[in-house]
Structure 1
């Protein structure tokens, strides 16, 4: 379930998306993690929101820059504002 019109182009957009996931802002149930991945058919990078069985709940395409430079943000989470 990836919308072709929804592309995360910047690290700021990635951070906002991850925060929405962290606070439950998208209304998804049973979220267990996120991962950066590539589509097997065309190699296009995306961020996957996964459930406890590692099944895709939601995906958003990401730019090549976000895919390369957003790995730590996806792996370790967003910076918390104090």
Structure 2
């Protein structure tokens, strides 16, 4: 990851990140998906935004807890609150 940003450490923050991706708020183009992964070099977890060719467009570090508890949110998307 080229820019060291604050680590996502709450489900609310993960939700805000996903909404920003879905709404175009990050200014990314050709977004095809979002997923969680583990850095092979150091074992840190991250959430990444991918293009059609599976290239990472943007990524943020996440805590172990968010990696464990936020998978459904990333997999299923963010549901609107009423």
Structure-2 change in CA distance of 1:31 and 1:12 (3 Å) = same
Q: Residues 1-82 of structure 1 correspond to what in structure 2 (within 5 A)?
A: 1-82=1-82
Deviation at 1:3, TM superposition (A): 2.8
Moved more, 1-10 or 47-56: 1-10
Moved more, 29-38 or 3-12: 3-12
Q: How far does the alpha carbon of each residue in 1:3-54 deviate from its partner, in whole angstroms, 9 at most, with x for none?
A: 3332101000000000000000000010000000000101100001000100
TM-score (norm 2): 0.94
Structure-2 change in CA distance of 1:55 and 1:80 (3 Å) = same
Which 5+ residue runs of structure 1 have no aligned equivalent? none
User: CA RMSD for the aligned pairs?
Assistant: 1.0
Q: Is the 8 A contact 2:5 2:60 kept in 1?
A: no
Q: Tell me the SS of whatever aligns to 2:29.
A: coil
Deviation at 1:2, TM superposition (A): 4.3
Which 5+ residue runs of structure 2 have no aligned equivalent? none
Q: Which has the higher strand share?
A: 1
Deviation at 1:73, TM superposition (A): 0.1
Cα distance in 1 for partners of 2:22, 2:2 equals 19
